[in-house]
Amino acid sequence: MSSVQIYDTTLRDGSQAEGISFSCEDKIKIALSLDKIGFHYIEGGWPGSNPKDLDFFSLIRSHSLKNAKLAAFGSTRKASLAAENDPSILAILDSGVQVATIFGKSWDFHVREALGTTLEGNLAMIRDTVAFLKSKGLEVFYDAEHFFDGCKANLAYALKTIEAAQEGGASTIILCDTNGGSLPLEIKEFVELAAGRLSLPLGIHAHNDGDLAVANSLVAVQAGAVQVHGTVNGYGERCGNANLCSIIPNLTFKCGLETIPRENLAHLTELSRFVSEVANVHPDTRQPYVGMSAFTHKGGVHVSALLKDYRSYEHLPPELVGNRRRVLVSELSGMSNMLYKYKELNLQVDKQSPEGKRVLEEIKNLENQGYQFEGAEGSFELLLKKAYNGYIEPFTLEALRLMIDVKQDGTAYSEAIIKMRVGDRVVHTAAEGNGPVNALDNALRKALESFYPCIRSMRLTDYKVRVLDEKDGTGAMVRVHIETGDGHSSWGTVGVSENIIEASWQALADSLAYGLLKGDNLEQKKDDKEE
């Protein structure tokens, strides 16, 4: 089976994305997870351009990587300096890596305009830089920047530049679609041309400006490339780089090629979400293979077919990439989706019963107000329990007051006062917090912990605010989504209101009520009462 090397540039090209800024610790964490899943190369940074990157290369040395080789990025030497005197080239040597990835110009327009040198001068810069780094014992990859645009503008010259890199001693030539505007069949043509001209292995480095980076990478492999450069989740400048989370399963499951070990693909979704968390970027729910919605079904026709055979509307089993199947309850879905959901929750329900119809009615009504039970299984199950009687609420609100003071110097004080009924008792207490929602959370817990000690083990793991109709400005409805865990499992809850405090209250109260409902937590309270 043929194999393709995976070269990750999340830490360098990925950090060029709008809204992304990695600390050195972030980069270490990501590098270790890329190594663990089996990527072949990790580009750690550009030591000659960003001094912070040298810290990364120095810190990473105390960790031993199992699978990946580290690469440092850099440009060809300055026109006016010899490679051995160019500080940015010397910074690569200082970084202590085994692989140097050097980019140079392939497009005659760029040589003249951006670099301000002659075509011959550029060839010498490429040749010298590669040769110097190779002479120092490094493996050198040559990134042919703007290769495809260069081919379209001046084919003969573009080919000369990669020949210069081969002469200098590069071990692999990576053809870059730097502006991301090339089409799959153009990529195919020029990769085949380059392969015919060089004796070296080729790689592909694509950007997504035409929404074609994944396709362009696949086609390049089909045309002979054996190394793919990309980033986790496709993070990168402008529209991003080629998305390795799509390319790897496509190459593995669709093209039958070897990339990372096949069993490690089951950790791909985890890797994707980990990197988005470290990058502090909202995961793209629709992202192929690894997105929250990637195997999520809403249309009633699809769901009723899925109930018969999962292959009906899925291109591959979600488990292969560590993702999971979800079925949504919504107005489009009808009874098939409800039944699927009941089955998932182990509830016995007669779909013709008045309760069944009433719940469906109420869900539609709440969804119209902006509730979304997708990802809020806790609130959804509480709703069902309430509809089917026999459920006693573990606590109810009597009154709630929040006071926030902001002083001239910007310091703020938040206090929550809460009055609640628990069984036949009334608790009235107060707490402060570093913001109003935190104060509310603290007061609620303070009020309930003596009745339900197990609440101490429940931790908020995620708090999200979504302004529902942003154009209504500060008067808009907001939806608060909370994720809570108790060490064994986690659950989502939701609240909606024009008032962020009220919405947060709903989601917080549901999160604890659902935590108590799970397992025997409610029994504990009942026993207390009987004593």
Smallest gap, in angstroms, from Cβ of residue 55 to its own copies? 13
Which residues in 115-174 contact its own copies (CB under 8 A)?
Answer: none
| 288 makes contact with its own copies (CB under 8 A) | yes
The residue from 263, 350, 405, 424 that contacts its own copies (CB under 8 A) is 405
Q: How far is CA 327 from CA 331, 358, 483, in A?
A: 13, 20, 19
Structure tokens at 2: 């043929």
Token representation of residue 140? 């050198």
Interface residue with its own copies among 66, 407, 487, 488 (CB under 8 A) is 407
Exposed e or buried b per residue across 296-315, where buried means at least 16 C-beta atoms within 10 angstroms of its C-beta = bbbbeebbbbbeeeeeeeee
The C-alpha angle with vertex 169 and arms to 168 and 174, in degrees rounded to 5, equals: 95
Interacting positions 195-234 with its own copies (CB under 8 A): 208-212, 214-216, 218-219, 222, 234
Note whether 292 binds its own copies by CB under 8 A: yes
C-alpha dist (Å) from residue 261 to 41, 79, 119, 440: 14, 43, 43, 47
Residue from 437, 417, 439 nearest 428 by CA: 417
In the list 1, 156, 185, 392, the residue contacting its own copies (rule: CB under 8 A) is 185
Decide: residue 1, CB within 10 A, 0-12 exposed, 13-18 middle, 19+ buried. Answer: exposed
399 binds its own copies (CB under 8 A): yes
Shortest reach from residue 396's CB to its own copies, in Å: 8
Smallest distance from the beta carbon of 131 to its own copies, in angstroms? 23
Binding segment for its own copies among 124-132, 179-187, 263-271, 518-526 (CB under 8 A)? 179-187
**Closest by alpha carbon to 27, among 66, 91, 70, 80?**
70
Nearer to its own copies, 61 or 286 (CB): 286
Of the candidate spans 33-41, 84-92, 463-471, 513-521, the one that interacts with its own copies by CB under 8 A turns out to be 463-471
Q: What are the residues whose beta carbons fall under 8 Å from the beta carbon of 407, sequence distance 6 or more?
A: none
CA distance 208 to 149: 15
d(Cα 421, Cα 129) in Å, to the nearest integer?
75
In angstroms, what is the minimal distance from the CB of 334 to its own copies? 9
- Of residues 105 and 200, the one with the C-beta less far from its own copies: 105
95, 106, 172, 246: residue in contact with its own copies (rule CB under 8 A): 246
Nearer to its own copies, 6 or 349 (CB): 6
Q: Of residues 477-496, which lie at the interface with its own copies (CB under 8 A)?
A: 478, 482
Burial class (CB in 10 A: 0-12, 13-18, 19+), 190: buried
Residues 261-280 that bind its own copies (CB under 8 A): 277, 280
CB of 523 to its own copies, least distance (A): 27
**Are 518 and 491 within 8 A, CB to CB?**
yes
- The upper half-sphere exposure of residue 317, i.e. CA atoms within 13 Å in the direction of its Cβ, equals 5
Spatial neighbors of 211 by CB under 8 A, at least 6 apart, are 239
2 binds its own copies, rule: CB under 8 A:
no
Interface with its own copies (CB under 8 A), residue from 129, 272, 504, 521: 504
- How many residues in the shown chain lie near its own copies by CB under 8 A? 133
- Taking CB under 8 A as the criterion, the residue among 40, 77, 229, 297 binding its own copies is 297
CB 308 within 8 A of CB 340: no
Give residues 366-395 in contact with its own copies (rule: CB under 8 A): 367, 372, 374
Return the residues of window 3-42 that contact its own copies according to CB under 8 A: 15-19, 21
Following DSSP, what letter does each residue of 416-443 receive, concatenated? EEEEEEETTEEEEEEEEESSHHHHHHHH
- From residue 52 to residue 81, the character string flagging contacts with its own copies as x (rule: CB under 8 A) and all else as - is x----------------------x------
Q: Please state the length of the chain.
A: 531
Segment interacting with its own copies, rule: CB under 8 A, options 156-164, 194-202, 469-477, 519-527: 469-477
Pick from 32, 93, 193, 476: which binds its own copies (CB under 8 A)?
476
Per residue, the 3-state secondary structure of 277-340, as one string, reads HHHCCCCCCCCCCCCCCCCEECCHHHHHHHHHCHHHHCCCCHHHHCCCCEECCCCCCHHHHHHH
Distance in Å, CB of 380 to its own copies, minimum? 15
Which of 312, 429, 490, 524 lies at the binding interface for its own copies (CB under 8 A)? 312
* Secondary structure of 179-221 as H, E, C letters: CCCCCHHHHHHHHHHHHHHCCCCEEEEEECCCCCHHHHHHHHH
Tokens (6 digits) for 40: 């072949």
Q: Choose between 131 and 214: whose C-beta lies nearer to its own copies.
A: 214
Nearer to its own copies, 105 or 385 (CB): 105
Q: Which residues are CB-neighbours of 265 under 8 A, at least 6 positions away?
A: 248, 249, 252, 253, 320, 321, 322
From the list 2, 118, 353, 461, which residue makes contact with its own copies (rule: CB under 8 A)?
Answer: 461
The single residue among 1, 392, 474, 530 that binds its own copies, judged by CB under 8 A, is 474
Per-residue contact flags (x/-) with its own copies for residues 85 to 124, judged by CB under 8 A: ------------------------xx--xx----------
Report the distance separating Cα 286 and Cα 283, nearest Å: 9
Binding-residue pattern over the window 327 to 366 for its own copies, x denoting contact by CB under 8 A: -x-xxx----------------------------------
Of 122, 252, 259, 287, the one binding its own copies (CB under 8 A) is 287
* Closest CB 97 distance from its own copies, rounded Å: 20
Shortest reach from residue 163's CB to its own copies, in Å: 24
